[in-house]
A and B are shown apart, each in its own frame.
Chain A
Amino acid sequence: MKNRQSSGLGRRSVLAAGLAAGGGLGLPLFFPGLAEAASYPPLGNFPAGVAGDSAFIGITPPLTGAYSADGKDHALGYQLAIAQINAGGAIPAAWGLKGKGVLGKTLRYKIADSELKPNVAVQAQTQFIEQDHAIMITGCVSSATAIALEELAQRMKVLNMVGCSGSNDTTSKDCQRYGFRSQPSAHMAATALGPVVAKALGSNRKVAYLVPDYTYGFSVFDSFSNATKKYGWTTTSKQVVPVGAADYSSALINIANSGADIFCNIAFGNDAVASCKQADQFGVLKKMKLVVPNISAFQAQELGAKIMSGVYGTFDFWWTLEDRYPLAKTFVETFDAANKYRPSWGAHIAYMQTYVWAVAVERAGTFYPVEVIKTLEASKADPFDSTLGKVWYRAEDHQMVRPVPVVQGKMPADMKTKDDYFNILEMVPGEQVINPLTDLMGCKLGTYT
């Protein structure tokens, strides 16, 4: 009995394998579209979303609200990358893509304003997934939105290349199998910035913090105060303010009276501009040195070189990096030509991650989410060429390992052109500043299916 069964199984499985091999080889010759469909089971919007000759990407930046400047920049980055990929030619080829589009399919997309509200983004992306059969969702300038969309992606089994998000939680407490993040985490930015400012500004400093009241704000505060602890930096004041607050006078008065000599401003977007402006009015900037762990896209333009000169901080990307990486140069030039200004880092994240995703899909040979995820997770062995040199994603928490630019604001006299606001002091390698594998900060990636 047992023998018969096992031999029966054996014969059957050999036959099946033979048929599959033959079918797998033969059928695609006659029915090219079947190649994918035959190999992988349906999952999320696969294969329905890519059955035709296009693939859809859902994008939800905030075009209104406190971070709308970064949001607009972010959206333009997506548009540029997708246009270039669809056109084919030398530019996508330099990234490693073949032909036009991704795997021969044109990329279609729609942009919906998230209004900086996670709920609106979730709603819009759900529509994109259900109605437009999006094969990838992306776009945000807020960790709150990022986390909500990662959750959605995991539930609907559609890949989410996280837009702008600096909170640690995005790849720790709230990490998801279907989410990948390229921006340096708060931990990475703080660990990169800490030694630089300690060297420049001295040890045993007293710091007053202005912290926006949400996950990103707390992340940056925790990471930065931890990173500078070993240099003897202490926290004399921690002022928590709501996102979108207009009047910082109360918080700034507390800070002005705190006896600190460093003012660490973690507010972002419009809030960064407003709070720095008011800090200047309250004389805080005269008494203390300003440190901005994560500088917003247009902060320098809006505040002016006078306030930003000498300020230490980090960015995801600054346009003068074009001198170091050829892909960055192409990015900055083509963006400037299309939009009449040099891109900020919101646009960069959009551009770079879209390309990396496209390359990953072509490497996997399929849009099937599990394969693409596995390809991204295996990128350590085969890093991607990018606007920041070689980058790869960590399999354990899906954080991109990439260099962190530490910058300092230039004096007005030293600016060579009108947007030459920053000096890049260092490009700190990602491996040096990422949290070690022994401390994934609570990340438990979900399932593949």
Chain B
Amino acid sequence: MKNAIRVINELKERGLIKDYAIGGAIAALRWTEPFFTQDLDVLVILEEEVGEHGLIVLSPIYEYLKEKGYIWKGHWIMIEGIPVDIFPADPLEKEAIAEAEEIEYEGVKTKVLTPEYLIALFLRTGREKDKHKIGLLLEQAEVDREKLGRILDKYGLSERFRALVEK
């Protein structure tokens, strides 16, 4: 995985993205016991947010990766043997990237979303598997409840969170 992270770091070094952080299951895995997952989710802040027709343009990133010989497999781009999903960040995700923890993975620097933002993002998607991850995070990670409360309030997710924990 460190080679995949190196390639993602290159996107930033070459100015194709402003910043990024690992999200989704692999970020959750940083804070919980190991569980099964298939892909590496990467949230990116683009250099240019919107293209000509109001579309979010990821083409420069994919062009660069294609030139390096990485291929598509379904909706994933295979980077150094890892299926990667690249998502352009929305306001909540941008804040999550800014607040992400800097770590080293086998000596390669990267950023991983913190439990509070992961809970907010999993709440927003709300699939059963996301709810399961929220449960793991609340049980096994050190969650700053005040910070979580602020994030949930700001993004209108407090009610959804209450409904989930009261269930």
The yes or no verdict on A and B being binding partners is no
Binding site for B on A (CB under 8 A): none
B residues whose Cβ falls under 8 Å from a Cβ of A: none
